[in-house]
Amino acid sequence: MRDPNFEQCVQACYECAIACDVCAAICLEDEPARMKRCIGLCTDCAAVCRLCAAMLARNGEFSTALCTLCALVCDACARECSPHGAQHCQICAGACLGCTLACRDMLER
């Protein structure tokens, strides 16, 4: 039987990936030079979140390690996006925080 936090974590990972994709795309369009770190972290975060969700779904051997990495990357992305006032950055920061918490919940099992 799967961990009860499994579905919540997978959903949080996918929601975070989408929010990061949107944030990176808008920042790239609006202010690429000033938002370089935000764009990079959002891009990395989206990739890690998608991989984490897929590995969790397969109950992959390295799911725990990837959840740990996902929580770290999401936390860094949330800290980068949260000071920016743009709505897409705030949405991204919130999704990243949610994913960080969901991954940490999976790790506490």
Q: What is the pLDDT of residues 54-96, one digit of tens each?
A: 999 998 899 999 999 999 999 999 999 999 999 999 999 999 9
What are the extents of the domains in the chain?
5-106
3-state secondary structure of 31: coil
For domain 5-106, the CATH architecture is: Up-down Bundle (1.20)
Q: What is the DSSP letter of 3?
A: -
Q: What's the predicted TM-score (pTM) here?
A: 0.93
Task: Bin 59: left if φ > 0, else alpha if -120 < ψ < 50, else beta.
Answer: left
What string of DSSP letters covers 49-100?
Answer: HHHHHHHHHHT-TTHHHHHHHHHHHHHHHHHHHTTS-SHHHHHHHHHHHHHH
- Alpha-carbon distance of 59 to 79, in angstroms, equals 29
